[in-house]
Amino acid sequence: MRYSNLLAVVYKRLAEEWGENVRWEECQTYGQSVKHWPAFNDSANALEYLKQHYKLVILSNVDNQSFAFSNAKLKVDFDAVFTAEDIGSYKPERRNFEYMMDHLALAGFGKVDILHTAESLFHDHLPANECGLASCWIYRRHAQEGFGATLKPKVLPKTAFRFTSLGELAMAHQKETRR
């Protein structure tokens, strides 16, 4: 199911669970809301910097159209974009990571060349660990309790790096390359 359609269904189910009456048009409007979601303030500049040093690849749970709206805010030309719509499943399904790794292998990249960088321990870092990928945790919720909209993982995954933002990651890289 396309992410925009999934969001509409989730909206409807939550409204029903909370005893609220909503029209399907409202649900669809919410489903199309990704185009209005802002990027984190540090993301565009950090990605622009990192693009000068690395290949950048997206593995996203959104559909292609929704990602196009997000990408316009990120202002970077990604080397590859793999969405749930392309793959036919959503993270944390291992299939998503295998799809990405298979396609990157065709371009000459192996597991040792990949640093999976993401926020969600449940959706990203656990399956990245299962697939043998090194990962970098962008722990944006560091000042808050809980895991936000994601499930708490049963086991905390191993991460090679941890930063509170992509901007902090980019600054750490700048500092390291000056040495």
- The dihedral through the CA atoms of 48, 168, 80, 111 has a sign that is positive
Q: Are residues 86 and 171 in the same domain?
A: yes
Q: Are residues 93 and 50 in the same domain?
A: yes
Distance in angstroms (rounded) separating the CA atoms of residues 125 and 142:
16
Q: Are residues 173 and 85 in the same domain?
A: yes
Domain count for the chain, please give it. 2
Angle among Cα 122, 124, 127 to the nearest 5 degrees reads 85
Q: What are the tens digits of pLDDT across the range 22-46?
A: 999 999 999 999 999 999 999 999 9
Query: Which CATH number fits the domain that encloses residue 131?
Result: 3.40.50.1000
Q: Are residues 121 and 77 in the same domain?
A: yes
- The dihedral through the CA atoms of 110, 50, 86, 41 has a sign that is positive
Running DSSP on this structure, what letter comes out for residue 35? G
Q: What are the tens digits of pLDDT across the range 151-171?
A: 778 889 999 999 999 999 999
Q: Are residues 6 and 84 in the same domain?
A: no
Q: Are residues 57 and 24 in the same domain?
A: no
Q: Are residues 52 and 74 in the same domain?
A: yes
Q: Which domain holds residue 32?
A: 1-36
pLDDT greater at residue 149 or residue 79: 79
Token pair, residue 104, equals 């990157």
Q: Are residues 97 and 137 in the same domain?
A: yes
99 by Cβ neighbours in 10 Å (0-12 / 13-18 / 19+) ranks as middle
Q: CB–CB of 127/97 below 8 Å?
A: yes
Q: What are the tens digits of pLDDT across the range 48-98?
A: 999 999 999 999 999 999 999 999 999 999 999 999 999 999 999 999 999
pTM, entire model: 0.91
Q: Are residues 51 and 2 in the same domain?
A: no
Q: Are residues 83 and 93 in the same domain?
A: yes
Q: Are residues 117 and 91 in the same domain?
A: yes
Q: Are residues 59 and 28 in the same domain?
A: no
